Amino acid sequence: MVYFLQLLLTGFVTGAVYSLVALGFVIIYKCSSVLNFAQGQMLMVGAFATWAFLAILKLPIGIGILLGLIVAAIMGWLINRLTIRPLIGQPLLAIMMMTLGLGILLDAVTVTIFGGLERAYPEFIPITAVNIGPLVVSQQRLCCCGVALLLFGLFTFLFHRTRIGLSMRAVAEGHDVARSLGIRVGNVFTHAWVIAAISATVGGILLGSINGVSMGLSTIGLKIFPVVLVGGLQSIPGCIVAGPLIGVLETLAAGYLDPFTQGGMSDVMPFLVMIAILFIKPYGFFGEVRIERI
């Protein structure tokens, strides 16, 4: 029983970070109906950039992380400006293929600059264990979970209480409606990509501080799809629920099934759960149900 609860706790912490990364994916889709296949690569680039500031340039922790987030914001702005905005008005499939190609390009650039070896982050979060009853968890994982939840709260405040957030919600309802209200839709797209890049980078920093930073971080983008689809493509609350759910199921599969299958079930389980749930609720738990007349 203790082992089961330990896996639940570990999965919940990991899932909270998944939720944070999925948030950027949902924001882009809500504003532009674009599936961003480069979300995992944006996470990886931001994590590597922050690692370079901390490990190579030896900058203080706060300054290094701040510069990493600035790099992420610039990356999001450039992606929107150079690759997405020129395709406005084109079929959505063309834009999604652009994001897929962009992900491959970011992979190539990253491996060229940093190589393919795994790098360890400088220890800036204590790794000493904390006892929660019979359970044991590192301060590092608890801090990562706390940061993820805090940022979710900040982003929620941004969407509901700030001008930028209200503009993004208006654009999500309809571009023509937003334009009629004097909202510059192009600027909202830029904000969406910048926020997506920052949330992905924070997720990359948190995961990198636990497991190290490597090219494998880009595969997190694949695990985000089950989170987003299970929660609902346009639902921010869905991210909050689906992230820990996927994280817990992934951890349980690693603990109970991987020993009998020579590993790998933890990677497959999120997608099996996604397929099973979408059979029951095709729009996800909190997705918007659309009925179209033919």
pLDDT tens-digit profile of 58-83?
899 889 999 999 999 999 999 999 88
Residue 245 Ramachandran class (φ > 0 left, ψ -120 to 50 alpha, else beta) = alpha
Per-residue pLDDT, 232 = 85
**What was the pLDDT predicted at 290?**
64
Average pLDDT over residues 82-88: 85
Residue 278: the pLDDT is 86
Query: From CA 19, how far away is CA 27, in angstroms rounded?
Result: 12
Report the phi/psi class of residue 122: left, alpha or beta, with left for phi > 0 and alpha for psi in -120 to 50.
beta
Contact (CB, 8 A) for 139 and 126 = yes
Contacts of 70 (CB under 8 A, 6+ apart): none
Instruction: Give the range with max mean pLDDT: 109-113, 156-160, 177-181.
Output: 109-113
pLDDT greater than 90 at residue 157: no
pLDDT digits (tens, 9 = 90+) for 196-238: 999 999 989 988 888 889 888 888 888 888 999 898 888 888 8
Residue 67: CB atoms within 10 Å:
17
* 135, two tokens: 């359970």
pTM: 0.89
The token duo for 224 is 């985000």
Burial of 114-142, coded b for 16+ CB within 10 Å and e otherwise, reads: beeeebebeeebeeeeeeeeebebbebbb
> In this predicted model, what pLDDT tens digit does every residue of 242-282 receive, in sequence order?
988 999 999 888 888 888 777 678 888 889 988 998 888 88
Cα–Cα distance list, 159 to 128, 227, 252 (Å): 36, 20, 34
